[in-house]
Structure 1
């Protein structure tokens, strides 16, 4: 056994023609190989001779042999000659090796040796390989010179390009090596030549961020076998309309994300030697995409009978299942990899695809297939990757798909009506990634899920799975990512203690019970733990030292009690820490978290804690701080130094006195959410100037603030000033600050003056609540006519006069209109019939004079109708016909204290079906008229007055 160290070699000892790589499998190698030696200035060396495909494999799979240079310096290394990597199951290719690993290589048989095994430091072998490659200009085994016409064609091609940046860290021109008078087969980046003729065989300019157009000279490189222009920013019309047909030797063509758009050139369909074709638009490097020219997909692939890999993601094919399915199956018998994601395909999935028996990869996601999953997919025995997410699939998943022997990746997520149950899994499956989230899958998880011993990713969120989580999860030692959130799982959390690679565990929004297991905080790789929105109980244990890698811990909205774990201070990498809405008690000093420098989101709201913040303490710079219901008695001083804070919730505390001026500057003007509601605040230190504020949500309701109502921030969406003691009118320039407002409430104050008409200019206003104030004058007529998005208008208990606005928007979206307790007169405007979504109409305690508005019965969603204490008069009309359905959803009807006369039609009562309630014990109908404010709703309130005689007819 001999050993040799790379530092015995010097760079000048390596001849130009030093390495030969014999590729036996056409797999893509890594895009860049960089040495780990600080004293060697070689980086961004690309294995450009590797065939560009979608799969990136271990370099050992395509390197069969390599000839290494012989250093002439002393001491000499062993005689290398031609070496073959030792076929040991744990052999490590040197590019992935650790500093002290040795790679076993075997000398070839010769007269001087018998192929003995040598052990060479892996990094030394790597350095030799890279240096020899670099000094050969990246050209392996090239002896012939580049013909002049080949060089000139490349130079013409370069003239049409502009380069914005080089891949890697260099800022120089990546095509600087393309110079007149030099050999394009030696040192020209991206170019590889045939060893005998010198003609260009490979042109790989991928990821060069090239702009411009492709010169016609490209098509004179007729010996090209590999052309890769992927991930560039070429003009959409970059390619000449004709010419591709001249590249008849092409076996691999990759134009994905190149910027190329428009119609696919017809010449591509004549490249009969193609093995791999990639025209995809991934949207990573470019936003342009291609489309097929009529008639169909058959025109593109009909002649490409040798094609094994077809990637058309994002290409606009616009074909039905009976078109694209047969086009592929009849033309591409050797197809192994197929990607038609986002191609505007429609279904169904045609049975002709069953002929593609060699398929290993199938991606049809992001199409509108709108069909069931066909059974034949379970017969594609070579299939290793199947992705059919976001396709409108329905029905059950065929059980055969789960039993495919080579299946490693299955994704049928985001198909909301895809149903079924998980089957029993055999113990010999090699499934690694299973995505079923956002489907209608149901039932319990089978105990046999523990047989999926290679499973790394399990995503079953937003389904309707139920039952206990099986204990067999303990067998899944390779798990990295588990998301079972938003289901109906119950019972205790099973053990994942053996899943030492687990990085993310998301069980939120279920019905899990029992304590939080202590072993969770000992998983060595765990970064994210989300157990919120469950029914977990018990006391929290302390965090172990192994939990220091945790970045997210969310235990909010459970039933945890006891003291807050002080060992949280050990979580040095924590970014998100949420314990809100539990029953934790005791006192917590915020200085406990002073050293959590990565903390970004912190939430202790709604517990039984008393949170203390001393004036001298420091606190990490966070973006979200929620301390609602934490018994705070003042504004924490450390808030002054919070320069990146965007969300602050101090609601439901014991803060009283004055709102300081510095609070409006928290976050350096970037504060977007501020909630100070339900405190005892009395005044502002000075009138707040929010003209430059970034606040989107401002909630100061339920305090004791008085004086002038503040001008809302200019970009607000939500403003709540309700339940205070403001006594002013609205400021006149408020109109400029309502452009984006969706919710505005100033209810229960003592505001005066008229309701400003500039609320009508609030295009996005959905809720306006000005109830319980002293507003006078008329309701602005434009409120119902102009504010199309208005859902709730509450003006009750003011001193408004005049009539209700006589116009309503044709597309009125109003759901609640409450003007109770004013001095309104006139009739009920029939324009309210435009408000088809109206559910609550309260006109009580006014002076409205009208007959019974029976036309309101056409509002099929109306649930509450209050007309009491007005001047309504006359008979209540008798409905016509046996199928009378007016007011069928009505639950509350109050017509008391009016001047109605005559009988109350029985048919009217019968039509109000939503008023009937069944006594759970007797099964009988609970009354016909009910009680005022009664719990068992029947007919709201019907009070007998002298001027009104009600008789139940029949």
Structure 2
């Protein structure tokens, strides 16, 4: 999915003056992508442009791989219909865009990547029918919603781009993901909504989606997750770190058979309901560091591949249950808590145990009987314990 993004960054040969559009500003470079044979694919990169429309109107029938505008000297504000041209990648950044007309891109052909980052858009543009468009980035804008259909509008912004695989809307003002937000986008693989103002995610927002590789929801304002928001979804890695979550309900992630890494660090979690992580068959890492947890009772379930759990920088005072007995080669980080005691047999399934910066005075009986090598770190001193049951 990254092939065209990678190629957008590669140029291999200088283009001859006859191949480049005439009268390019001195701030623009023109080079060949691949090789300068027919059909010619050029890359145009402009650090600044005096007039966006004047520049684009000179492109005519030239075929471009990438047109990249880093900055417009004269803010465009309202992007109206662009002149016709052919390009695979189009990047218009720092041009002061505040709105985009519905037909702004109607006469552009070949488009696979569109980047309108670092502008001032408040409303999601309506994308015309682009059968090849798979990548949209509108980072660092002022977007407030996703342009979903409503009672007053019977179409959504994404109706014309059903083949989208990657969406990047970082650093905007988005507040909610509804059932309709991604309903018609059945090819999504990466969704990045980090650094927004998300406060609510509908329980069915990601239901019936194809496998999603990465879902970035970091640095938002989420305080609560609907109990089944991620239940029976198909997401590989979920980033929920740096939000304001205080509680995780049972079955929050139940049935997500492909989830392998779950990021919940830097929230305000005080407890995790038993059953929260039930049947996460592929998960191998759960990050819960830098929360307000006082116990580890909720970390249980059928987790056969779990290898790393980070519970550092919480408020755990003791480890009494057998939560970690059924694991194999688990790396457990309990550092920087308030642990005063660890019960015998409480960590029998742990291969590496990190306990530095707690209130422990003894570890007697904790590692006996163990059939694996355990590394316990206490007060910045490392104790390598090879404990075996010879009975």
- Contact residue 378 and residue 400 of structure 1 kept, 8 A: no
**TM-score, normalised on structure 1?**
0.31
Between the aligned partners of 1:235 and 1:528, the Cα distance in structure 2 is: 50
Give CA deviations for 1:214-234 in whole Å, capped at 9, x if unaligned.
35899x9594565568xxxx8
Q: Report what 2:249 is aligned to.
A: 445
Between the aligned partners of 2:59 and 2:15, the Cα distance in structure 1 is: 21
How many residue pairs end up in the alignment?
348
- Contact residue 207 and residue 232 of structure 2 kept, 8 A: no
Q: Report what 1:500 is aligned to.
A: 305
Q: Report what 2:24 is aligned to.
A: none
Residues 504, 464 of structure 1: alpha-carbon distance in 2 compared, 3 angstrom cutoff:
closer
Between the aligned partners of 2:320 and 2:284, the Cα distance in structure 1 is: 23
Between the aligned partners of 1:560 and 1:496, the Cα distance in structure 2 is: 31
Between the aligned partners of 2:147 and 2:339, the Cα distance in structure 1 is: 46
Residues 403, 335 of structure 1: alpha-carbon distance in 2 compared, 3 angstrom cutoff:
same
Gaps of 5+ in 1: 1-26, 30-51, 56-150, 158-199, 201-211, 281-289, 582-589, 594-954
Between the aligned partners of 1:449 and 1:440, the Cα distance in structure 2 is: 18
Give CA deviations for 1:366-391 in whole Å, capped at 9, x if unaligned.
12x15444442152341443222211
| Higher Cα Rg, which structure | 1
Residues 356, 535 of structure 1: alpha-carbon distance in 2 compared, 3 angstrom cutoff:
same
Partner-residue secondary structure (3-state), 1:376: coil
Query: Are residues 1:253 and 2:55 paired?
Result: no
Gaps of 5+ in 2: 20-26, 150-154, 385-391
Residues 328, 506 of structure 1: alpha-carbon distance in 2 compared, 3 angstrom cutoff:
farther
**TM-score, normalised on structure 2?**
0.66
Between the aligned partners of 1:316 and 1:222, the Cα distance in structure 2 is: 34
Query: Are residues 1:317 and 2:119 paired?
Result: yes
Displacement of 1:364 after TM fit?
0.9
Between the aligned partners of 1:471 and 1:514, the Cα distance in structure 2 is: 19
Residues 374, 223 of structure 1: alpha-carbon distance in 2 compared, 3 angstrom cutoff:
farther
Q: Report what 1:214 is aligned to.
A: 29
Between the aligned partners of 2:233 and 2:382, the Cα distance in structure 1 is: 51
Give CA deviations for 1:500-544 in whole Å, capped at 9, x if unaligned.
3634533641547533859579744x5662454255732577999
Between the aligned partners of 2:382 and 2:223, the Cα distance in structure 1 is: 50
Partner-residue secondary structure (3-state), 2:210: coil
Partner-residue secondary structure (3-state), 1:386: strand
Matches within 5 A, 1:287-686: 290-292=93-95, 296-298=99-101, 301-304=105-108, 307-312=111-116, 315-321=117-123, 325=124, 327-330=125-128, 335-342=133-140, 344-351=141-148, 354-357=156-159, 358=162, 359-367=164-172, 369=173, 371-382=175-186, 383-394=188-199, 396-406=200-210, 408=212, 409-416=214-221, 418-424=222-228, 428-447=232-251, 449-471=253-275, 473=277, 475-485=279-289, 486-488=291-293, 490-492=295-297, 494-495=299-300, 498-500=303-305, 502-506=307-311, 508-511=313-316, 513-515=318-320, 523-524=328-329, 529-530=333-334, 532-533=336-337, 535=339, 537-539=341-343, 547=351, 553-557=354-358, 561-563=362-364, 578-580=377-379
Matches within 5 A, 1:723-762: none
Q: Report what 2:22 is aligned to.
A: none
Q: Which has the higher strand share?
A: 2
CA RMSD of aligned residues (A): 5.0
Between the aligned partners of 1:155 and 1:221, the Cα distance in structure 2 is: 7
Partner-residue secondary structure (3-state), 1:214: strand
Give CA deviations for 1:814-862 in whole Å, capped at 9, x if unaligned.
xxxxxxxxxxxxxxxxxxxxxxxxxxxxxxxxxxxxxxxxxxxxxxxxx
Residues 446, 305 of structure 1: alpha-carbon distance in 2 compared, 3 angstrom cutoff:
farther
Q: Report what 2:47 is aligned to.
A: 236
- Contact residue 30 and residue 42 of structure 2 kept, 8 A: no
- Contact residue 239 and residue 263 of structure 2 kept, 8 A: yes
